[in-house]
Structure 1
């Protein structure tokens, strides 16, 4: 499970990030891949090279960077979210197509394009092939949200019906079912308002709110994909930002905390607690990756533009999962 979010600050910066809701750690860490990085496309067993440097949360498997979400030096960002029962991968490659395994779509898109408008025509050629990274790593079930510094946002889904691209005007994504279903479902909440409800009359009885804080009445409060989509869309649409980027970052983390999973609230069929392992927020213009974790709610920041983007090696930053407390005395 997961929730992804986009947000624009009052001073014009674009933010992109997500909650990573999962019942286990996957050896994740903030990972910087330099420009002109060469990797093996397992779908066609050939070496390919990226164009742009990128930073995001991921894991290295057989010297192969596998990103959960990432942004490049131009600001194009992408996150993969779990899409069980709906995602579909082709069994064979197709000549004349861009054959990509699902775990490489982020690496390919963020590594080679500056914007959604540049990427979109190439997506029509994409053929997602279900070839595992290795025999010990199962294929993921994913759909993707992408955003750029122009404010464009799309969702990519590959189902039995083929690859579909949706313009995402609500700026959020969760999990199954399909994105167009989630948009239709928002109609059920068309009357939900952040304002305090007023007095009403039923029969001859005056009905008044019991107290302050009744805004948002009717919003779902559970942790299902459908409920998180509605709540995140509502919180994003009604968020009140200050005048600068920092205010936007603060609100970004607050919005995602409103749909985060607390240990014990969601238990998997294997009797394991599903939690929000981390929350990320990327400033797409500045190239700064912010994150906090379930065990450490201090916000950590890594500026990719302070690193050598022409380096030859992947750089992995320590995953700071131990709580930091500011003791005043």
Structure 2
């Protein structure tokens, strides 16, 4: 949050597979599906969204749009991150009345809620479930946790652990992937000696010993790896040390600088999946101005060349629109009008 009140949130999508990531505008009144696992035979409900929103979904998913990133016309932003090994969704019982699939959680939260306060009150009333038989086309199950931020600056983390919904206040202003958020906060205590201030010279036997170089000497010990704990420490500490900027424009730039510090280039995070060798990489980046309803987005091949969108104009069109992120016309400037043609 800048001193002028502007709230900006950003995220990198670091992934190894081609998900056919698609940016979609959903107008106010779009259908939001609330359902239980089909085998339970419980009634489904189609809500009409209270808010327009824009989000990113993997087009390779069969049978629906699972929004993992987005923001709505009320200034609520959402990002879903990977939490394998720790996520256990809730179990729906025949007695339950309120439920939503993890696949539809993004559309539900962005379409129906205005603020983090409202979300904290209402979301625990719903069971969030996952049934692998009802999801196909994606390379891994959607083991996810979420960060929600609104234009007041309030932010929470939502996780599903041991079959229960867990909500944390986002005191670090950061979320990466596994482990769980409380683990990351505990791990951050190992780095309390990090400082944005260079250490003073040390005098030994009358001789002054200075640090090697004056840039960032107080940051020695900051992890530089691409693990999720390492990136959590870099992002959270950089945000804290940078302090509060004055304007929304400066906030946009600061978020961009922090995201650059956790950007993953191809070839630097290689793993073997079956017979295939894959590399995680920062497939796309978003910067969300939640106060002014602005969005900037860039893909891997255009990492420093963001497309900017005026969401007020897109939402006012009252049209559903979609574009492959890798197919957007990347160039300098605001392409809102061009995208609406």
TM-score by length of 2: 0.85
TM-score after normalising by structure 1 = 0.88
The answer to whether the 8 A contact 1:93-1:99 is kept is: no
Between the aligned partners of 2:167 and 2:35, the Cα distance in structure 1 is 24
1:229-259 Cα deviation digits (max 9, x unpaired): 1110011112266543222212211101101
SS at match of 1:56: strand
Structure 1 CA distance, aligned partners of 2:93 and 2:110? 22
How large is the Cα RMSD of the aligned pairs?
2.4
For residues 29 and 142 of structure 2, the distance between their equivalents in structure 1, rounded to whole angstroms, comes to 26
Cα gap change, 1:314/1:143 in structure 2, threshold over 3 Å: closer, same or farther? same
Say whether 1:293 aligns with 2:299: yes
- Structure 1 stretches of 5 or more lacking a match? 1-7
Using the TM superposition, give the Cα deviation of residue 314 of structure 1 relative to its aligned residue in structure 2, in angstroms: 2.6
Pick one of 228, 253, 276 that aligns with 2:282: 276
Answer with 105-114 or 199-208: which moved more: 199-208
| Larger deviation, residues 150-159 vs 46-55 | 46-55
CA contact (8 A) 1:44 1:99 kept: no
Instruction: Report which stretch shifted further, 202-211 or 122-131.
Output: 202-211
May I ask how many residue pairs the two structures share in their alignment?
318
Equivalent residue number for residue 17 of structure 1: 10
Distance 1:279 1:128 in 2: 27
Distance of aligned partners of 1:323 and 1:38 in 2 relative to their CA distance in 1, 3 Å threshold: closer
CA 1:95–1:248: 2 relative to 1, 3 Å: same
1:317: Cα distance to partner?
Answer: 3.0
Counterparts of residues 43-122 of structure 1 (less than 5 Å): 43=36, 46-49=44-47, 50-60=49-59, 61=61, 64-93=64-93, 95-122=95-122
Match of 2:253 among 250, 255, 263: 250
For 2:250 and 2:136, the matched residues in 1 are separated by: 45
Cα separation, 2, equivalents of 1:273 and 1:183:
27
Structure 2 residue runs without a partner (length 5+): 39-43, 333-341
Q: 1:216 to 1:32 in 2, by over 3 A?
A: same
